[in-house]
Copies of this chain bind each other. A is one copy, B any other.
C-alpha cells in the first residue's frame, strides 16, 4: 500500500493506494472516525463492492443509498435523494458519508456531505481510474445544471481517500481510457518526465498491469496534491488542472450529458489546447502531434462533434472559468508546463474551434 498526504493544514488528509484495500477493515478503522456512516453508491458499483465495503466497516451503524449510474443523474434533484437517506437514517453532525464509486458518485456524495447539517465527514472510496487520479482528490464537489457542468457545488475536503487498484479490473475498458486522459493531463501541465514514462508505459496501463497502474495513480495524485496544497480554492495555479476542461465542457454539452465520458471530452479538449498553444507559437507541430499520438494510443477519441465554432464558443461562454466575460484557458507553454491565460488573439481561438468543431474561421 502506498500512502500520500494532501497538505492542507487542519484539513490535511491521507490517500491510500493499493490492491485489496476495499477489504482492509484495519485501513478503514483509521480512515473513518465516525461510528455512524452512510455509504453512497450506484446501481453498477453496489453489486460489485457494497457488501465487501460494509464488511470492512463492521462495528459501525451503516446505512446505504444507491443512485442510478451516469453523469446525466449528477443533479441537484438526485442530491436530494442523498439528503433524504441521511435524514431517514438519522445521521447527525458526527456522521460520515462514504462515496463508493466513480466521479459522479464522489461529486454528489461530497456535495451532500458538504451541505448536510452544514458539513459532515466525507471519505472517498473511488472505484474508477478517473476518480482515483482526479475527482476524489482535492475537495471539489458538486452537481451539474442544464446550463453547465459543476455549476452548483462546494469545496469540501475528504477525511481520507481509499483507492483500491483492483477495482479497476471490473471497469469497462472505455472508462480506463477516459481515466488515462486525466493521467496524461498531469504530465502535460506539470511533469515532462512523467510524459516520457507514459510514452513508455501506455500499453502496460491499458493492460492494467498492476505496477504501472500504481505508479500512474500515485504520480497523478502527487502532482494534483502539490497544486491543490498551494491553491485549495482555485484562485490561481489550481486552474492548471482544468487543462482541456473548458473545451471539453463544450464537447460534453454539444453531445448532451452522458454521451461522452468526462475524460474523453477532456482528451479532445487537451488536443484543442495544444492546437491553440501552437497557434500562439508556444509549441511546435511535433509537440501537437505527440499529444495527439498519446491520446490515440490511449484509445481516446480525437474528433469533436461538428457543431460549428460559433456554437462551441457559445457553449464555452457559460463555463465557470469565464472571468468577467473573458474566457481564460489553460494552455501549454511547453509539454510539461501549463499556463492559465486569457491573453490570446480571438482569431487564434476561432481558428482552433473551427478546425475541431467545423464552421467558418
Contact = CB atoms under 8 A, between A and B. Distances in A.
Interface of A: 35, 76-77, 79-80, 83-84, 86-88, 90, 92-94, 114-119, 140, 142, 145-148, 151-155, 233, 317-318, 320, 322-325
A10 to B, nearest CB: 11
B92 A322 contact: yes
- In the complex, the count of this chain's copies comes to 2
B152 A116 contact: yes
A152 B115 contact: yes
A230 to B, nearest CB: 17
B155 A119 contact: yes
Given A84-B145, A92-B322, A93-B320, 20 more contacts: A76-B80, A83-B145, A83-B151, A83-B152, A84-B147, A87-B145, A87-B147, A87-B148, A87-B318, A88-B147, A90-B317, A90-B318, A94-B323, A94-B324, A115-B115, A115-B142, A115-B153, A118-B154, A118-B155, A118-B233
A108 to B, nearest CB: 13
Q: Is the interface of A mostly helix, strand, loop or mixed?
A: mixed
A77 B84 CA distance: 13
A318 B83 CA distance: 13
Contacts of A88: 147
25 contacts: A76-B76, A76-B80, A83-B151, A84-B145, A84-B147, A87-B147, A90-B317, A90-B318, A92-B320, A92-B322, A93-B323, A94-B323, A94-B324, A114-B154, A115-B142, A115-B152, A115-B154, A116-B152, A117-B320, A118-B142, A118-B153, A118-B233, A119-B154, A119-B233, A154-B154
